[in-house]
Structure 1
Amino acid sequence: MKLQEAFIEGYGRFHNRRLDLDAPVIVVYGPNEAGKSTLFGFLRTMLYGFARRSNPSLRSEPLYGGRHGGRLLFRDAFGKSYYVLRHADEAGGKPRLREASDSWGTAYESASLEERMLEQREWEAQYLGGIQERLFRGLYAVTLTELQEVGILSGAELGRHLYQAGWESGGAVAAAEKEINQELEQLFKPRGTNQRMNANLRKLEQLEAEWRRLEDSIEGYNQCKQHEEYAVKSLEAIADRLPKVQLKLRYTQKALASRSAWLRMCQAAAEAEKYRYTESLPFGAEQAWQDWLNKRQASEGKRDVLKQEAGRLGRQLAEMHYNDSLIARTVDTEAALQSAERMHALREQVSEWENELGLLDEAIGGLVTSISPEWTERQLRELNVTIADRDYARTMQERAHSLLRHEERLASELDALRLQEKEMVVQLDEARSRMQRANEVLHVSERGRFSLYPASKSGLMAAWNELDDALREWELELGPDSEAMHRSSIARRTSWSNRMAGAIIAAGAAVVLGGASALNWLGEARMLGAAAAVGAGGVFIGLWISLRLRDPAADSKPRSVGGRSRRRTVGQGEQRVREALAGMMKDAESRTEEFLEKYRQSISSKSGSMFRGMIRQEVQERIEALGEYEIWRMKHDEAESRLARYRESASEREAAADELMRRSEDFSRQWREWLSARSLPGTMSPSAALEVFELAESALEQLKRYDRMTIRREAACMELSRHERKAAQLCEGVESAERLLQQDAAVGLQALLAECRRHADIRREAIVLEARMQEVNLELADEVSKLDALGQKMSAAIGEAGLALEAEYAAALEHLRLWTELEEERQRLQLELTAGLADEEWEEVEQLLIHADEAMLSGTLEELRQEEAGLINDHRELLERKGALGAAMEQLLQEGERQRLLAEREMILAGLDTDMERYAVLSVSKSLIERTKRIYEQERQPIVLRNASYYINKLTEGRYLRVSADPSRSGIRVEDRDNTVLDSSFLSRGTAEQLYLSMRLALAKESSQSTKLPLMLDDLFVNFDGNRLKAAADLVAELSGERQILFFTCQEHTRDALLAACPEAKLVDLDTAAVKS
C-alpha cells in the first residue's frame, strides 16, 4: 500500500486541508503545535477508525468546524488507486471505498462516485494484509515516546526491552508473562501459607478430621471416591506421558527429515579425514607458495629484459659525438637572439617615433594658432598658468553669472510689484465706495422709530440687554402670569445657549482669518482671507444679535417671584426701565412716559412680547449696519496699508538695480585689466580664458612629449649599433651562421642557436644513457639476489613439510584446499541440522540417526503417532468416568451434620478445583509462552537479528557489526568491529535507541512479506549526532525502495538531512501547508 493524498475535512486543528503524499519518503515538518501529531492520528484513524468519545485526545474532534473525518487516496500492490472515506457521523465511522481512475499516473475520483461500505475486519483483510490496529501500532508506527522509554531504562531492564523489540507484540507478551507469574504466586506456593490453595487445603484437612469422627458408614461413598482418585491418577499419568511421547515424536520427525543431510555430513567428515595430514602445513601456506611462484616467474622475466636493455644502451653510446666549446656559446646566443627580437621591434619603434614626431609638430602648431595667431613656440614655453590664475578665472566666471542672475531676479520682482500695486489700487477704490454706502445706511438707522444713539455694537448690545432685563423684571411686578413667563424665559434661555456655540465658532473663524490676512500668511490669497474674516465676523454678530433678540432673558438672573419679594421690589423694575431707556434713546426724557404707557397697555392686552420685538428688530438692524460699516472700514485700511508697502518695496528694488549696475561696471573693468596684464584680448570672457588655459596646457604637454620621444629615438639608434657588433662575434667560426648573419642578424643567430642546441642535446642524451646503464646494472644485480632468496625460501618450506620436491609440496597444498572445503561443508550442514535445537535436543536426534536407519525411523514415527492417539483417547474416557463417579457420589450424600460437612467439603473442593484449574491454565499458558518464545527464537528470530545487524551496521557506520540474542537472560548483545561482544546494558542512550530502532525495522520487514504498509516514524533522530543522523537518513532512503515512509519532525537539521539523502522525497510543511519536492 502506498499513500498518495490526504484530504482532512475536519480533524483536530485541521480544516479543509489537502496534503500531497505521493512520494516514497514524506517529510512532515512543522514547529511545535503545528499539527504533526494530529496528522499522525488522522492517518491512523483513516486506516483503523475513530477512537471512542471517552478518549477525546485520540478522537480529535474538529476545533474549527467541518465534518469530522476525511478521505485518503492510496494505491494497492496491483497499482490500482482507491479512496477510503471515514466520517464519524456516517455508518458509525466505518470505511467506505471508492475506486479512483488513473490517467497518466495521476489518480482522480471517478465520475460514478460509487462507494462500497466495508466492515473493519473485511477492510483489514483485503487491503491491510490482515494487520490489526494493535499490531500496526507495534510494527509500523514508531514514536519518539518509545525511544524515550529506551533512554530511561538501564541494565537488565534495557536488555529485556530490546530483546522484546524483536518480537511481534513483544511488550504485550512480556506483560502477560509477568501477570501470569504474579497470579501463580497468589494461588499456590509449595511452602506458602497465605495462598488460596494452601488455605483451602488446611480447611479440607480439618473437615476430613471431623468427617472421620462421624459414626455412619460411608463405604459406598469411599469406593466411589477411590475409583475417582484412581481416575485422577490415571489422568495425571497420561498428562505426564503425553508430552514425552510428543517430544519423542518431534525428535523422530526431525531425524527422518534431516537423515540425508546427516549422511552427507558424515561422508564429508570421512573424506576430510584422508587429508587431515595437511593440518601441519602453516596457515596461508597455499597463498605464500603461489606468491613465491609468481614472484620467481616475474623476476626471471625482468632479468632477461634487463640484460637485453644493457646491450642496447652500450651500442647507442658508442655512436654519439658532440663539441663542448660550441655548447658553451648557447647562453650568449640565446640572450643575443632575445635581444635580436627586441632590436627588430626597436627598429620598427624608431620608425613609428619619427612619424609621430611629425604629427606632434603639426598638433602643437594648431594649438598655438588656436590661442592666438601671433603666438610662437617660444611664447608657449614661457607661458606659466598657476592654480591661482585658474581660481581667479573661475571666481570671475561665478561672479559674472551671479550678477546676471541677481539682475534678472530684481527685474522679475519689480514687474510683480508693479502689477500688485495696480491691483491694490482697484481694491482700495472698491473698499472706499462700499464703506461710504455702509456709512449712509448707518446714519439712516439712527433716525428710526426709537432713535437709538449708541455708535458701537458693544454699547448697543449692553444697552439692549439692560433694557430687556428691566422689562422682564417689570413684567414680573405687573402681570399675574409672571410665573409662567418666567418658566418660558428659562426655556428660551436654554435654547439660546445651544445656539450660542455657532456664534462663538464664527467669531473664532473671523479672528483667525483676520489675523492671517494681517500677518500676510495667506500670500496671494490674503485679500480673500480678509474678506472671509469679515464675513465670519458678520455671521457672529448676526447670530449674537438674533439670539439676544429672540431670547432676551438669556443673561437675566433668576429672580424670586414670591409674594414678599414682589412687595419689596415694587417700583424698582419701572425705575430700571427708565434708566435703560435713558442710556439707549436720544430723546429719552421726552419719550419715556409715552413708551412706558404703551408697554403697560401691551402687557394688559398680553402683547408685551410683540412690543419688545419691535425694539429688538430696530436694535438688530442698527447692529447689522454697524457691522457692515466696520467690515468695509477694515478692508479700506488694509488696502491702504498694503498699497503703501508695495510702493515702498518697488522703490527698494529700483535702488538695488542701480547698485547692481555699478557693481557690474567695476567687475568689467577689473577683468579687462587682468587680461591685459597677461597679454590676452580684452574682449575675452572668463569662460574663454579658462578654455585658453586648457589649450595652452595641452600644447605644453605635446611639447614635453615631443622632447621625450626625441631622446628615446637617439638612445635606440645607439643600442641597435651595439647589438650588430655582438652578433658578429658570436657567429664567428660557424659558416652557415655567418652567411645568414649578412642577410639578417636574427636569422644568423637562430642558425647558430640551433647548432648549439643540437650538440647540447647529443651530450644530454649521452649522459641519460650512461645513467640508465648504471641503473640497469644495479637492477640486474638486485633481481639475481631476489631469485636466490626466493629459491632459499621455497626450499625451506618444502623441508619443513617433510618433502623433497616442489611437485610433492604442490600436491600437499591441493589436498589442503580439498580438506578446507570438506570441513566448511560439514560445518554448514551441522548448522542446518542443529538450527532451532538446543544441544541436548540435537544429541537425542543424533542418537536416533546413528542407531536407526530410515525404515526404522519411519516405523518408530508410526508407533509414536499411534501411542499419542491412544493416550488422547484414554484421557477423554477417564474424564467421562470421573464425571460419572462424581454424580454417583452426590446421590450417596445424606442430610444432617454429615451433609453440612460434605457440602462444605465440596465447596472447598470446588474452590480447589477452580483454583487448580486456573493454576493449570496459567501453568500451561506460561509453558506455551516459553515454548512459543523458544520456537520464535529458533525459527524467526535469526532472520530478525540478521536484518537488525544490517541496520545497526548502517546506523553506526560500521562500528557495530552483529546483533545476537541471549535467551538465558532474555537480553540482546552486539558485536563491534573489533569482534568484542557487548551486552546492551553497556550501550549509550543514543546507541540503545538506534539498536531498538533496528530491531523494530527488522521485525516490520519480516512480518509484512505480503502487504507492505507505510512506516510512520515520529521524530526518532533527536538524540543522533551529525554522522549517525546522515547514516539514518541514508537508511531511510534505502528502506523507501521497499515501502513508503512518513517521517514527522520539528527539527530543521533532520528535515534537511532527509531531503538531501532522499532526492525523491517530498516536504509537507505544516506551517505553510506547502508541499515541496
Structure 2
Amino acid sequence: MYLNRLTIYGFGHFHDRTFDLTPGLNYLLGANEAGKSTLTQFITAIFFGFPTKKHPALRYEPLDGSRLGGEIAFTQGDVAYVVSRVAGPHGGKVTLRDVTHDLALPAATLARLLAPVDAQLFTSVYAMNEPRLGTVFSASKQELIDRLRHVGAVGSDFWLQQAHQLDQQAEAQYKPQGRNPQLNQQLREHRELTAKLAKADAAYDTYWQLLQDQQTLRQTQQATQQALAQQRAVTAQLTQQAALWATYTEWRRLGAADQAPVSGFAPEDATQLEQLRSHLTASTQTLTQEQQQLKQLQQAAQLPPLFQAYLPVAGQVDPLLTQLPAIAQAAQDQQRLVASQRDLEARATALEQQYAIDGQMPRPFSLATTQQVAALQDRLTVASQKRRRLQQELNQLNEQFQRQQPNRRQQRNPLADKQIVWLAIGLVVLVGSLLLPGTLFKLVGALLGVAIGYYGVFLVDSSTPASRELETLTADIRDSQAQLREGGQLVDDLNNQLDAIASAHGLGDLPVAQWSAAQGAIGEWEHLTRQLETTGTQVAKAQQTVTTYLAQLTQALPVLAGADWATVSPQLTQLQTLKQSLATQAGDLATTTDRLKSAQAAVDAAQQALTTFLSTRNLRSVEAFYQRYQAQRERTNRQQQRAALAEQLGDNLAALQQFSDHTALTDQLAQAQAQQAATQQQLDQTTTRLATLAGQLAHLTASGTQATLRQKLANLETQMRATTQDWLVKRLTSQWIAATLAAASGDRLPQIVAQASNYYGKLTENRYTEIELTATTLRVRRHDGEWREVSQLSRGTAEQLDLAVKLAFAVVMNQQVAMPLVIDDGFVNFDAHRRQAAYALLAEISHTLQVIFLTADTTVEQLTAGKVLRLSE
C-alpha cells in the first residue's frame, strides 16, 4: 500500500490543503509548529478513527471552526481507493470508494483492507517519532514476538488475550514463591493440619479422661443449679413478704378504725344542696337586673335637639322617613356604579393605549375578512417554509458544485483534443483514395475517409464524466434559483394583500401575528364603551334621586341644611329609633314592674327550699353540712384503701397472717438466705472445676480432634487435587496457544533480527554489528566483540536500535502488511553522520515501502533521493 494524496478539510490549523505523495520516499519539510505532528495524527485518524472527546488533545479540532475531517487517496494491489472521514459518532463518519472500478464500498471494508494492522500496531511500528523510539529502553523479545503473532496469524489478538487471561488465572492459583494464590494457601494449610494431627495423636488418652471428668461435673452442676433455683424461689417469696410487712400492718390498722356509715350525707345529697344554692344565686341576680332596668326607664326623659325640631313638622317628615330605605339603597347603588364606571374607564383606556393609532381604535374584521386573513397567513407560512427549504437545497448544491470543480485536465477529454487530427486524417484518406486505380478502391477509400472525419467531428465527445456531473449540478442550481424567485414573488404578493387589509381596517404597523389578539381587544373595547354609557345613565339617575330627597328634607327640617347624605342618614335613623322607643316606653315600665315581682317571689321560694334541706338533717348552716359530709367521705376512703391493700398483698395476705410478728418473718428469711448462699458456693466450685477442665481440653484440642483433623485433611487434599488439575489445564492451554501462534508466525523472527542487525550496522557506521534478543530484553554486539545492554547505550544510539528493529519488521512483514512508514522528526537525537546514514537507509527501503518523513531539517533539500514538499506553502 502507498498513499497518493492527503486532502484536509479541517484538522488542527490545516484547512482546505492537499499534499500529493509519491510511492517512494517523501520529505515534508516544515519548521516547528508547521504541522508535522498534525499530519501524522491526521493519517492515523483517517484510517483508524478520531479519538473521543475525552482526549481533546488528540482530536485536533479545526482552529478556524471548519469541518473536521479529510480524505486519503491510496493504492493497494493495483486498485486505487479514496477514504474520507468526517466528524461523527464511533470515530467519525467513513466513506470508502473504489476509484479503479468506480464503486462505493461499505465503511467496514476499510478495516479489512488495513488488516491485520490496527491503530495500536500502526502507532507502535509504522508511525514513529522521537518519544516512541525511546521505548526501546523497555523493549523485550516478547513484545516483538507478540507483534509478529498479531501480523502473521489471523485472529491472534483474541487468542493472545485468552492466553494472557489463562496465565493470570493460573498465577492466581499457584506461584512457586507466592503466598496469596489458592494452591499456595492450600499447601500451607496442609502443613499446619498435619502438625496439628500429630499433636492430637500424642494427647489422646489424657483427652478421654478429661472428657469423662467433665461429663460427671456437668451432671453435678445441673443438679446443683436445680436446687439453687428452688432455694432462690423460697428466698424470693420470703423477701417479698418481708417487703410487704408494712403494707400488711397498714391493712390491719384500717380495719380496726372502721365505723358504721350515716345516711343523708351521700354525694347525691351534696349535689342536691349545690343545685339549691345555684337556684338561689340565679334568682337573686335576676332580681338585681330587673331593679336596674326599672331605674334606667325612669331616668330616660330628656330629648335630643333634632327630635324637638321634628315634633312641630312631624306630618311633613314622616312621609320622608318612610322613603328612607329606598333612598339609602339609591345612595349605595350610586357609589357602586361610580366605582364600576372608574373600572370600565381604566380598562377602555388601557386598550386604547395598546391598540389605538392617532387616538382612533382599529375597525373590527368581518367574518369574510377573518377567513381571508387566516387563509393568507396559512399560504404565507407554507410559502416561507418552501422558500427556506429551497434556499437550503441551493446552498447544498453550491457546496457540492464547489467540491466537484474539476481541474483543467479533467475538464477536457484527451480524445476531444485530437478532433482536428481525425478530420485531417479523413481528408488525407479521401484525397488519397482518388489517386487509387479502380473505381471500387476509390469508392472504398472515399467512404473510409468520410467515416474517419465523421468519427472525429461528431462521435468524439469533448466532455468528461466530471464535466457532465457539473453540468447536471449547474442545471439543478438554476432550477432551484428559479423556484426561489417564484417563491419570493409569492411571499411578496401575500404580504401586499395583508398590508392592504391592515390599511383598510386601521391596523397600522401592527404585526400580523397580533391581529387575532387585536380583534378580541377591539370587541372588548366596544363592549366597554356601551357599558360606560349605560352606567353613566344609571349614576345620573341615582344621584338625582338622592339630591331631590335631600332638598325635600331640608325644606321640612332647616336644621339639616347644607349636610350631605353621609351626615343626614345616621341622624334620620336615630330620629326614627327614638320615635319608636318613646311609643313603647309606657308599656316597658309596666312590664318591668311585673318581672320584678316575679323575681322577688323566686328568691323567697329558693331560700325556703334551702332552709328545709338543712332542717331535715338537724343542721343550721351549709358549713355544718359539709363538715359532716367530709367525715363521711373519709370513712369511705379508708374502706377503699383497705380493699386496695388487700388486693396488693394478694396471696401473700394469708401467708403473712401466719406470722405473729415481724421478727418471726425475718428469722425464717435469714435461714433461707444462708441455705441459698451455701448452694451457690457449691455451684461456683463446680463451675470453676469445669472451667479448668475446659482450658485443659482446649489446650489439648487447640488443633482440633483427631477425627475432625483427619476429615479436614482429607477435604483439603481433595481440593488441592482439583486446584492442581485446573492449574495444569490453564497453564498447558496457554502454552499450547503460544506454541500454535509461534508456528503460525513461521521463521520471521530470525529474519527480522538479521535484517535489523544489517540496518543497525549501517546506522552506526558499523560500530555495532549484531543484535540479539534475550528472554527479557535486547542487547547488541560492538565491532570489537563486546556485548552491550540497551540501558548502556546513549539515547541516540538506543533510538537508532529501535529504528533498525522497526524498519526490519516493516520490510520483512511487507508481504503480509504493506503499510507506509510515517516518521515525525525521529532523528533529532542523531548526530550529523548518523542522520545522513539514516536518510540513506530510508532511500534504500523506499524501493520496497513508501516512506513519509516529516522533518524540520533543511538538509533534506540537498538529497538526491525523494520528493520534498514544504508544509508552509
Instruction: Note whether the superposition's TM-score is higher than 0.5.
Output: no
TM-score by length of 2: 0.35
- The structure that has the greater radius of gyration is 1
TM-score by length of 1: 0.29
